[in-house]
Amino acid sequence: MQENLGTTPKERAGLALLRLDRWRIGHRLIALVVAIALPLNLLIIAVIASLASSSIELQRTSLIYVARSVASGVDAQLAKYLAIAADLQKSPALMMDDLAAFEMEARQALTAVPDAWVVVADHPLPRRGAEALAAQERAIKTRSIIITGVRRSTAIGEWVVTVEAPVFKNGEPFRVISVAIGLPSFLTVLNQLDKPNAWLVGIIDGDGRFVARVPDNDKQVGQLASEGWRNVRHQEGIAEFHAIEGEWVVNANVLSRLSDWTIGIGMQKSELTGAAWRAVRWSAIFGDQHPAKQRSRVGPRLARAISPGHSGDQRALGIAEPRG
């Protein structure tokens, strides 16, 4: 009561306005709307932020999904050359020094792969480039068929990779079958991918050199990938780094099962986050952005998978639309 006596008439009038029984009906309705709308708007903002985060994560998952599909296509292509090398490695004509008969076998084996040719190297090894000699020695030492990285062919001056298959006679190194492969066959695998223009697609060897790349393949093939990608080339999963163009990218790495190559699918981070916010902007308003609905559409919407098929005795590459 003492406090009331000490207040001014203006202060007492202000305090009276705070009493609900003094409010008009219109004022009460306005207060009710504000009380409901404010937390509801905060909830909507939180939901939209959550949806955007979910959309970003789904796009990162889609990069891994597509990278695995491309890696399967690359391995299917490599498997053809590995099979040729393995067959020629067991040739009786080669073991009997009948190189004329072996040449016929090799030509027959290469009928379906015009982008490849065979070199037979005796042991001790003949004069070849340092990288080729090192690869042959590694094949002999490990007694296994290996796939090399990118190098310049001393014979034709073009970028190639080789499959090195050691041949032993009476337990001793005898010869090495080298199946040289032109790199355009791997660019074909990348070009068959139905991808957004913003995506960067590449294959690098164990040293971090480009086997194929989209875009700018002619400029980049045989060259080193960005330092950021080289640093994570032996790790599967999502990584972020600067691309060779200088842009910050989100990249999905998948390792080849048949070689020490790495297949990567990347996109600019700004494009990824921008696309996520655009995706949820209207669909969040109309209630069509439930995570389960997104997952059911992410594959068909974002990419076509590359999958190995068969045609007679030769493996072929096919494009398949993912089906949910």
pLDDT digit string, tens, across residues 163-209: 999 999 888 999 899 999 999 999 999 998 887 778 899 999 999 99
- Is the pLDDT at 81 greater than 70, yes or no? yes
pLDDT of residue 120: 86
Q: How far apart are the first and last CA of the chain?
A: 74
In 3-state terms, what secondary structure has residue 239? strand
Q: Which string of DSSP letters, residue by residue, matches 139-179?
A: HHHHTS-EE---EE-TTT-SEEEEEEEEEEETTEEEEEEEE
Token representation of residue 155: 């014979």
CA atoms of 260 and 13, how far apart (whole Å): 82
**Where are the domains positioned within the chain?**
79-182
Helix (H, G, I), strand (E, B) or coil at 268: strand
Average pLDDT rounded to a whole number, residues 285-312: 43
Q: Three-state SS across 102-147? A: HHHHHHHHCCCCCCEEEEEEECCCCCCCHHHHHHHHHHHHHCCCEE
Does the pLDDT of residue 97 top 60, yes or no?
A: yes
Q: Is the pLDDT of residue 309 over 60?
A: no
Per DSSP, the three-state class of 93 is: helix
Q: What percent of the chain has pLDDT over 90?
A: 43
Q: Check: CB of residue 183 under 8 Å from CB of residue 221.
A: yes
Give CATH superfamily name and number for 79-182.
Answer: PAS domain (3.30.450.20)
Q: Which segment of 86-100, 109-123, 269-283, 297-311 scores lowest on mean pLDDT? A: 297-311
Rounded CA gap, 41 and 34, in Å? 10
pTM: 0.70
In whole angstroms, give the CA distance from residue 309 to residue 254. Answer: 20
Per-residue model confidence as pLDDT tens digits over 214-268: 999 999 999 999 999 999 999 999 999 999 888 889 999 999 999 999 999 998 8
Tell me the sheet residues that pair with 199: 267
